[in-house]
Amino acid sequence: MSTTVKGRLLANTDIIAALGLVSIVVMMVVPLPSGLLDILITLNITASVLTLMLAVFAQDPLEFSALPSL
């Protein structure tokens, strides 16, 4: 049994999912500064373009099977 914080979080991934969900709800309720919103939109578009390029240029469909683990 790991005693480090990282080890505990990796052992309890449901906590990470719950914190992610709470942070998404908080971002919907609390207004974000325009600069932070611009950065988040840029990161979202970048991830979308990278996923699209990966799907277009994959030689074998099984190369893209790791999508849920992104």
Q: In the prediction, which pLDDT does 63 show?
A: 67
Residue range 52-65, pLDDT digits in tens = 888 888 887 776 76
Which amino acid does the sequence have at 5? V
Residue range 9-37, pLDDT digits in tens = 778 888 888 998 999 899 889 888 999 98
Q: In the prediction, which pLDDT does 10 show?
A: 76
- Judge residue 56's burial from the number of C-beta atoms within 10 Å of its C-beta, 0-12 exposed, 13-18 middle, 19 or more buried: exposed
Q: Which residue has the tokens 């277009």?
A: 56
Exposure b/e, 25-54, CB count within 10 A at least 16 = b:
eeeeeeeeeeeeeeeeeeeeeeeeeeeeee
Range of the domain at 9: 1-30
Top pLDDT among 2 and 32 is at 32
39 and 59 assigned to the same domain: yes
pLDDT band at residue 2 under the 50/70/90 scheme:
low
Question: How many folded domains does the chain comprise?
Answer: 2
CB neighbours (10 Å) of residue 66? 9
56 and 70 assigned to the same domain: yes
64 and 45 assigned to the same domain: yes
69 and 42 assigned to the same domain: yes
49 and 69 assigned to the same domain: yes
